């Protein structure tokens, strides 16, 4: 329904027209809608909101790479998101160099595959570092040898497995490596006209710098496109933090090893007596036999207990818990 003007608004509009403050031609020009060209060969299936959410996912992914790769390389690694864009797959594949590292990954349970592309100099730097070198890439790229390919597969597998956590707020994925190609002509797993989102990450291993491109086809992400917005992403992340963080922290604390000691008693002896102690000698402690012992968790006095044995081993039976206000 069109907006209805009040009588005061109509009178004000007529007065502005009569006084020349408002021009009729300007009003007609303002009502005209701007027409934008639409290229049906490049449908805009990924919005700016989708690309921004993908950038946020892979910013998290970059932090994981920065902390995980140094464990294998023993060298500082920095990873940052350079940019994101949407293109056709033919534009992406035509821009690939040869050789290149292309990991074809099934993005289960989603349909279809994604492609993880690493520039060759990053691969050669990884290989050189894993084989004891300084991690310097090659000046002139060459094909990878049969000995180097298992190391490349290890690198791509590490990168693939680290994607699980960043995608957790959108969908629980179980990526599976299908194959690794070094020739872009053999990686035509997507129709050339299909639209893809590309997230580009800048990787720096020591002094060697290169790019990683994550190719995400619209066909693969179509079922979760509604979840690729920052509002859903943040709300899910907040929900997971509220519900799962406490339980996660508790489970981690439960697996921490901490020393526990029970103190039978204390006494003071001279160095001479200590040096001449023999089997059968009696050391008189300051506690009686029926007095509870002090049980320490770390350096904190936490329990009282009585000594005993169980299955031929010394044991302590806890009799009470010492609260903080009782210490």
Whether residue 178 is predicted with pLDDT greater than 80 in this model: the reply is: yes
Reported as a single tens digit per residue, the pLDDT across 265-301 is 888 888 888 888 888 888 888 877 778 888 888 888 8
3-class secondary structure, 230:
helix
Rounded-to-10 torsion of CA 229, 232, 237, 239:
180
Q: Is residue 5 part of a domain?
A: no
Asked if 110 and 224 count as a contact pair (C-beta separation under 8 A), the reply is yes
Q: Is residue 228 part of a domain?
A: yes
In CATH, what number is assigned to the domain containing residue 64?
Answer: 3.40.1550.10
Look at residue 164 in the predicted model and tell me its pLDDT: 85
Statement to judge: residues 218 and 285 lie in one domain: no
Strands (E), the chain: 77-88, 101-108, 113-118, 174-181, 195-205, 208-217, 260-263, 293-297, 300-310, 313-321
Q: Which residues pair with 102 in a beta bridge?
A: 117, 181
Q: Starting at the earlier edge strand, list the strands of the sheet with 208-217.
A: 77-88, 195-205, 208-217, 113-118, 101-108, 174-181
Nearest to 98 by CA among 15, 207, 23, 185: 185
Statement to judge: residues 210 and 299 lie in one domain: no
Strands (E), 15-76: none
Q: Is residue 277 part of a domain?
A: yes
Lowest mean pLDDT among 23-32, 117-126, 179-188, 305-314: 23-32
Tokens 């921490």: give the residue: 256
Q: Is residue 177 part of a domain?
A: yes
Nearest to 220 by CA among 89, 131, 310, 122: 89
User: How many domains are there within the chain?
Assistant: 2
Statement to judge: residues 162 and 108 lie in one domain: yes
Statement to judge: residues 212 and 112 lie in one domain: yes
Q: What's the token pair of residue 74?
A: 């023993």
Lowest mean pLDDT among 23-37, 64-78, 168-182, 183-197: 23-37
- Neighbour tally for 111: CB within 10 Å: 13
Q: Is residue 124 part of a domain?
A: yes
Phi, psi of 266 (to 5 degrees): -135, 155
Domain range holding 72? 48-234
Q: Which residues pair with 103 in a beta bridge?
A: 116, 180
Q: What's the token pair of residue 108?
A: 């289960």
Q: Which residues pair with 199 in a beta bridge?
A: 84, 214
This prediction's pTM: 0.56
Statement to judge: residues 188 and 283 lie in one domain: no
pLDDT bin (cut points 50, 70, 90) of residue 2 is very low
Statement to judge: residues 293 and 220 lie in one domain: no
d(CA 135, CA 4): 72
């Amino acid at each position: 329904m069109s907006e209805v003007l009040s009588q005061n608004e109509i009178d004000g509009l007529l007065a502005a027209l009569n006084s020349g403050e408002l021009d009729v031609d300007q009003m007609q020009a303002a009502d005209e809608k701007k027409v934008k060209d639409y290229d049906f060969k490049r449908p805009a299936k990924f919005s700016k909101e989708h690309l921004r959410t993908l950038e946020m996912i892979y910013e998290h992914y970059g932090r994981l790479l920065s902390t995980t790769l140094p464990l294998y390389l023993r060298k500082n690694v920095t990873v940052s998101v350079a940019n994101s864009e949407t293109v056709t797959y033919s534009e992406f594949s035509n821009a690939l160099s040869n050789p290149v590292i292309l990991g074809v990954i099934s993005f289960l349970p989603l349909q279809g595959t994604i492609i993880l592309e690493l520039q060759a100099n990053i691969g050669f730097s990884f290989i050189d570092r894993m084989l004891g070198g300084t991690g310097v890439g090659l000046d002139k790229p060459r094909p990878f040898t049969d000995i180097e390919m298992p190391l490349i597969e290890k690198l791509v597998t590490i990168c693939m497995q680290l994607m699980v956590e960043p995608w957790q707020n959108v969908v629980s994925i179980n990526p599976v490596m299908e194959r690794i190609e070094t020739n872009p002509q053999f990686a035509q797993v997507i129709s050339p006209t299909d639209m893809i989102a590309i997230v580009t990450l800048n990787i720096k291993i020591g002094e060697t710098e290169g790019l990683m491109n994550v190719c995400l086809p619209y066909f693969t992400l179509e079922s979760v496109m509604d979840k690729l917005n920052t509002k859903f992403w943040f709300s899910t992340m907040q929900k997971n933090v509220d519900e799962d963080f406490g339980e996660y922290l508790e489970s981690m604390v439960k697996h921490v090893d901490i020393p526990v000691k029970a103190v039978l008693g204390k006494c003071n002896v001279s160095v001479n007596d200590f040096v001449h102690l023999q089997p059968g000698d009696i050391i008189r402690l300051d506690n009686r036999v029926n007095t509870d012992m002090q049980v320490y968790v770390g350096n904190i006095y936490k329990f009282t207990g009585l000594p005993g044995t169980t299955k031929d081993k010394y044991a302590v039976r806890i009799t009470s818990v010492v609260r903080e206000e009782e210490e």
